[in-house]
Amino acid sequence: MAYKEQADRLPPASMALAAAVQAHLGRASRFVDGKARNWSLFFFFRILSKAQLSAKLRQVATAINAQAAAGVEPANPDDKGSPQAPAQLFLDWLKVLVEARSDDFWNTLRAECGKAGIPLPAEVGDDEDAYELLFRALDDFSTRSFAGLPASFTGPIKAAVARAAYVTLSDANNFNAFVAKFGDTAAAAGRKALSGGLVGAFAYELLRQFAPAQSGSKDGVVRPAVLRSEAVEKGLKQDRDSVEKQWDPVPINFAFTFPGLTALQLSQPTLASFPEAFKQGMAARADRLGDIGASAPENWEGVLGLDCVHGYFTGGYLVDGDDLPVSKDFRRKLRDDVCAFNDSNGSDGWGDTLRTILAALCLPLGLEILHIELGEDPYDVDKEGSVVRLPYRTEHFGFRDGISQPFVDMSLADPLPGGGTPGRNRTWTPVAHGEIYLSEPDEDGNAHNLPMHPLLREGSTFLVFRKLEQDVARFRAYLASQRPGDREAQDRLAAQFVGRWPNGTPLAVAPQAPRELGADPDGLLNDFRYAADDPEGRRCPLGSHIRRTNPRDIGGTNDVRRHRILRRGMAYGGSLLPMDSPGDGGKRGLLFIAANARLDLQFEVIQADWINRGEILGQAGVVRVVASCQCQ
Ligand code: HEM
């Protein structure tokens, strides 16, 4: 396999890490061709137990009246094993994601459906009628022809669609013919699928996940599964042409919560060995994190922060690349669907319909989707209403984001200056693997050995997910109130809050005005220090965001090197708020995602001690945010 040669170049410890886990965390926002993904759906799920799955399948059987249609009696449910154990289908789906192996999945699905009284054919062959029917059904869904579900969704249609889905998806030839109907390339297929809003997007995500296993090896090349490492991803680049023609090669990330691992029935000693911050969950740490008042857990959206959330998985899309712009309505449709899905009180019932359809699509995976978030890189809209991509990733206050990351050397890319730990003579040392990945030595040379089970630990990391709203209109109004009538001064004040100009130029390097950034601005963007270059905060204010969250060489390298996080967030809310808008009612913000090995020492210290509290490492408290700066 082409990607194996790449992986073989890595040093042994890193190879195991990179190849086995490191599921696209290293540079999550990149496609194999180097383009950044610009939107991503986050599916928060609950794992069904065996008992819940069989009850739900029996409901389906009754609803589609499949027994009557097929004239069969349901077999006795198989009572073996604890009914509270996770549905086997969920475990088999993980094999599809991790190993691109689907045989067990189809066998289990056939057996479970048989028990519930929904007969599925044991042998599947070429069947054009089946994939044509399935394709039409998806088309109907996306044009809302089934908006009246479930009343108008009559039994015979449902039974036929369910059978068509099984026949199409479980057979390599049918699968390939079906996928080809979406378009010649992955981009075309994605565009077609996403024009169907959330249902299309979700169906597409499922197809993508199953594609490596279902489409079979082509030209002797076996494809890796969608949950894969950056080392594998890099190798895939060589096969890009053939890969792209087959399916969207974007990998997915997958994370479990502690309640999720409990639902998987890990052993008690293993569960008990997880660190306290992870076991308790973020809502229980609200006081420490400063999540109080309007930000208190009881005000978090939907089920976020609740124990019913067992994990999330997330893919990513780039269907409106530079070549083919799409309209803002295209983007809004998906956003509206996600809102409707999350808001069960929505008035027109579309949210309930979406929940019903997604529940049906997810049942064979042994899970239920509880909540969805849509991450979108902010964009501009031109006069024709088309989406215009910005030259770099931007957050909603208008600043370039995703620049500075801890550089953990996996032999996968050249080190970016400024990403490591500051060393002597203005050098940067790569951050120890163990700061991000478990089981590897951290900056102090200690391997982090919790949880106790090595399979759960090796190459794993702890992910933090937070939904942070940004009140853009109020931020701008505040700037105007502080520097009335002087737009330039307002922009400078905003830059002082962040510590960078909107295009990313650091104030520590250029305090008076942003620099023009060339094609390869990495050195300029991140190769700077505070203690050495700007100890009193005359260029970059002591309280600026980037200085508080990564004080670099302040206090000596020892103080900062154990408190780094790998940020993997994405904005939400769609287009940037136009400069002179008083607000348009839309919510905007950041889906903040960070990876680290020690939640208490890394994320929590930055959030609770450095961002929220006063003095840090002799730096400014919040009341002295820009007072020290000489560049006003
Ligand atoms: C809505 C909330 C936030 C916004 C809009 C925001 C925005 C930004 C921007 C514009 C940058 C500079 C670009 C870059 O260096 O990549 C940055 C850097 C950073 N942010 Fe945030 N951020 C937010 C919340 C947070 C939170 C909650 C944390 C940590 C708990 C955090 C940690 C960091 C870190 C570690 C850096 C890199 C600093 C460096 O290495 O120089 N941010 N953020």
Distance 545 CA to ligand 1 centre (A): 7
Instruction: Return the residue matching tokens 């609740």.
Output: 306
Distance 238 CA to ligand 1 centre (A): 34
Pocket test for ligand 1, best of 408, 463, 500, 549 (most atoms within 8 A of CB): 549
Distance 549 CA to ligand 1 centre (A): 7
Q: How far is 455 from 365, CA to CA, in rounded Å? A: 23
Q: Is 545 in the pocket of ligand 1 (CB under 6 A)?
A: yes
pLDDT under 70 in the chain at which residues? Answer: 1-36, 65-80, 141-157, 186, 217-222, 230-249, 317-325, 346-347, 411-415, 519-522, 620-632
Protein residue with its CA nearest to atom 7 in ligand 1: 401
Q: Is 549 in the pocket of ligand 1 (CB under 6 A)?
A: yes
Look at residue 295 and give its three-state secondary structure. Answer: helix
Q: How far is 405 from 424, CA to CA, in rounded Å? A: 20
Instruction: Return the residue matching tokens 């830059």.
Output: 495
The dihedral of CA 133, 136, 141, 146: what is its sign?
negative
Q: How far is 181 from 200, CA to CA, in rounded Å? A: 14
Q: Is 393 in the pocket of ligand 1 (CB under 6 A)?
A: no
- Which residues are CB-neighbours of 119 under 8 A, at least 6 positions away? 66, 70, 72, 113
Q: Which atom of ligand 1 is nearest to the CA of 395?
A: 5
Q: Is 565 in the pocket of ligand 1 (CB under 6 A)?
A: yes
> What pLDDT is stored for residue 8 in this prediction?
42
Residue 505 identity (one-letter amino acid) = T
Q: How far is 91 from 103, CA to CA, in rounded Å? A: 12
Protein residue with its CA nearest to atom 22 in ligand 1: 545
> What pLDDT is stored for residue 72 in this prediction?
59
Give the residue ranges of DSSP H helices in 181-272.
Answer: 186-194, 197-214, 230-236, 240-246, 258-263, 268-272
> What pLDDT is stored for residue 320 in this prediction?
54
What one-character DSSP code corresponds to residue 416? P
> What pLDDT is stored for residue 378 in this prediction?
94
Q: Degrees (nearest 5) of the Cα angle 413, 36, 472?
A: 120
CA-based Rg of the chain, rounded to a whole angstrom? Answer: 25
> What pLDDT is stored for residue 21 in this prediction?
43
> What pLDDT is stored for residue 4 in this prediction?
38
Q: How far is 277 from 353, CA to CA, in rounded Å? A: 37
- C-beta neighbour count of 481 within 10 angstroms: 9
Q: How far is 341 from 348, CA to CA, in rounded Å? A: 12
Pocket test for ligand 1, best of 408, 564, 567, 572 (most atoms within 8 A of CB): 567
Pairing between β-strand 311-314 and β-strand 253-256 as defined by DSSP bridges: antiparallel
Q: Degrees (nearest 5) of the Cα angle 70, 181, 352?
A: 60
Protein residue with its CA nearest to atom 19 in ligand 1: 546
> What pLDDT is stored for residue 86 in this prediction?
96
> What pLDDT is stored for residue 144 in this prediction?
60
Distance 24 CA to ligand 1 centre (A): 20
Give the residue ranges of DSSP H helices in 396-485.
Answer: 454-457, 472-482
Task: Note whether 596 and 565 are within 8 A (CB).
Answer: yes
Q: Find the helix or strand (DSSP H, E) in which 113 lies.
A: helix 103-116
> What pLDDT is stored for residue 80 in this prediction?
63
